[in-house]
Amino acid sequence: MKSQQELGVAVPANKPLVVRTIKQVTKEQREYVLKKTEYSMFSFPADLIFVDFLSDSGSGTMTDFQWAALFHGDESYARNKGYYVLLEAIRDTFERGDYPKKSIDMILSGETNVKKLIDELYLKSYEGGFVNGGIHQLTRPNAFIVPQGRCAEHLLFSTIAPILRENKNITYYIPNNGHFDTTEANISANGIIAVNLFSANLMEDFPYDEMDKRNPFKGNMDLEGLENLIQEKGVDTIPLIYITITNNTAAGQPVSMQNIKAVHKIAQKYDIPLFFDACRFAENAHFIKEFEEGYQNYTIPRIIQEMFSYVDGFTISYKKDGLANMGGFLCFRDKGLFHKKFSINEDIGIKLKEKQILTFGNDSYGGMSGRDIMALAAGLYEVVKEPYLNERKTHVRDFARKLAQNGIPVILPAGGHAVYLDMNKFFEGTDMKISDFGGVGFTIELLKHYGIRAVELGPFAFEWDKKTPEQRKGILNLVRFAMPRNVYNTSHIDYAVAAITELYKNRDKIPKVRISRGAELRLRHFQSGIQPIYKE
């Protein structure tokens, strides 16, 4: 008899307790609604969709532990109890590895020992890490709660840009292994140039039957590219280096610990602060455990602790990694390199806090409701659980494998949160040009015929037509199917695989598209109108 492990399939990690019925919408109804919503994926009513792969952001199912925590939400204006619990959960997750304190249990179990609450939670003093505590968070604030990831990006870049310009009026660059669209937009909105340094092996072929055996960490940063950029543009032009884990723009591919360490070394050598865009830290840690030499016997929390030991700070959307439906965060190491470099006339933390209050609210809620803060704090303990991560990984990989088996050009190995199609290969042999936005035409047809929503992350989203030939090299031509956590099962995947395969067979019928409204808008894929051009 085979053992549980020898069966070769992931052991189920959870079971749903709530079910939502999907509406049986017809193709004609979807066609009508598409026409009335300018064929934009972002304007189509979600309630009319069978399977929604638009985003994994905030669209996951919460666990019973999170729903229970939500009821402990404290909606007080200042210093709600969830604020303290969340800061502790963040210290646990990113700094304490195998030794979390889990102070959240004190609140959930109704601790009545007031002295204990005061000493261990409400006034407990911390300094020197990502999240100062007690008096130090008041005098040297370094941790900022915001509603989502882009708010953290806005807070960071809009605060440092004027400091940089005051200092020296030169062109600044922020390199990344792959800027997410909102990160790039927030950087360029503040007059800084965002540079993508994708790994050279990103678009290399990979056999689908080896996905469980090895992983080439295609999300890595191009180290040579980074050195060249610093040498070429000069150290003073680079205020920050960013690593996105996992690399969403580069097909959700993971970044190895070795690469993180190497970038850290370069950053140290040139005295440049290193930040994570940490959105999918748990999924990235899981890839390291599974595939990187030397980490098989580490726990996920311990890997996360090591990953974060190499950075000076991070921005994060807590809507990713299945953590919560809402939340974002910015922090930097107390008295670290970032703090030193940007505290020129005034403490950078004080400046950031002032802007946080101006735009999102008091620092103890930062635009979040008390119940969302509690659900998020609980979520941080849920996403690092290995059975959950195993099951999720298997699910996404399964989707990619089934597409590959049907001959669909899917990026392999599968990323952590999504499956990506290579649209250049998809349209090979047809007359579709990159400026025809074939990926957008594909998503329109997929939604119209089969009620499945995906998103183009390619020349349309990354504004190919507005960029220089040099900048165009940083644009991939992809369509993304993002998997919300604990929402879809094998039947949803099989339906999607059949639909995508049918469209692939009929790819010569997919329309080119034209931007009918708002081509010039920033982040236009969220807001502009589209017109498919159907052949007669």
Q: Which residues bind ligand PLP (CB under 6 A)?
A: 57, 148-150, 180, 182-183, 244, 248, 277, 279, 317, 319-320, 328
End-to-end CA distance of the chain: 61
- For the bound state, the minimum distance from the C-beta of residue 492 to ligand PLP, rounded and expressed in Å, comes to 21
Return the number of the residue (277 or 292) whose C-beta is nearest ligand PLP. 277
- For the bound state, the minimum distance from the C-beta of residue 174 to ligand PLP, rounded and expressed in Å, comes to 13
Tokens of 290: 């599974």
Return the number of the residue (159 or 317) whose C-beta is nearest ligand PLP. 317
- For the bound state, the minimum distance from the C-beta of residue 149 to ligand PLP, rounded and expressed in Å, comes to 2
531 in helix, strand or coil? strand
Query: By Cβ distance, which residue is nearest to ligand PLP?
Result: 149
Q: CB neighbours of 41 closer than 8 A, spacing ≥ 6? A: 54, 443, 447, 453, 454, 455, 456
- For the bound state, the minimum distance from the C-beta of residue 153 to ligand PLP, rounded and expressed in Å, comes to 7
28 in helix, strand or coil? helix
Tokens of 476: 């991939």
Q: CB neighbours of 241 closer than 8 A, spacing ≥ 6? A: 174, 175, 176, 226, 263, 266, 267, 272, 273, 274, 275
Tokens of 203: 């678009």
Query: How far is it, in rounded angstroms, from Cα 394 to Cα 403?
Result: 14
- Angle between the N-to-C axes of helices 281-291 and 300-309, in degrees from 0 to 180, rounded to the nearest 10: 110
CB distance 393 to 378 below 8 Å: no
Query: How far is it, in rounded angstroms, from Cα 476 to Cα 458?
Result: 5
Report how far Cα 38 is from the mean position of its chain's Cα atoms.
27
Number of Cβ within a 10 Å radius of residue 216 = 18
Query: How far is it, in rounded angstroms, from Cα 443 to Cα 503?
Result: 10
- For the bound state, the minimum distance from the C-beta of residue 305 to ligand PLP, rounded and expressed in Å, comes to 21
Return the number of the residue (295 or 329) whose C-beta is nearest ligand PLP. 329
Strand pairing of 274-277 and 328-332? unpaired
- For the bound state, the minimum distance from the C-beta of residue 63 to ligand PLP, rounded and expressed in Å, comes to 20
Return the number of the residue (178 or 273) whose C-beta is nearest ligand PLP. 178
Return the number of the residue (142 or 244) whose C-beta is nearest ligand PLP. 244
Return the number of the residue (182 or 477) whose C-beta is nearest ligand PLP. 182
Q: Which helix (H) or strand (E) holds 345?
A: none
- For the bound state, the minimum distance from the C-beta of residue 180 to ligand PLP, rounded and expressed in Å, comes to 3
Return the number of the residue (100 or 379) whose C-beta is nearest ligand PLP. 379
Return the number of the residue (173 or 276) whose C-beta is nearest ligand PLP. 276
- For the bound state, the minimum distance from the C-beta of residue 99 to ligand PLP, rounded and expressed in Å, comes to 28
Query: How far is it, in rounded angstroms, from Cα 304 to Cα 439?
Result: 35
- For the bound state, the minimum distance from the C-beta of residue 181 to ligand PLP, rounded and expressed in Å, comes to 8
Query: How far is it, in rounded angstroms, from Cα 348 to Cα 88?
Result: 23
CB distance 422 to 203 below 8 Å: yes
Return the number of the residue (107 or 151) whose C-beta is nearest ligand PLP. 151
CB distance 223 to 267 below 8 Å: no
Return the number of the residue (327 or 451) whose C-beta is nearest ligand PLP. 327
- For the bound state, the minimum distance from the C-beta of residue 43 to ligand PLP, rounded and expressed in Å, comes to 17
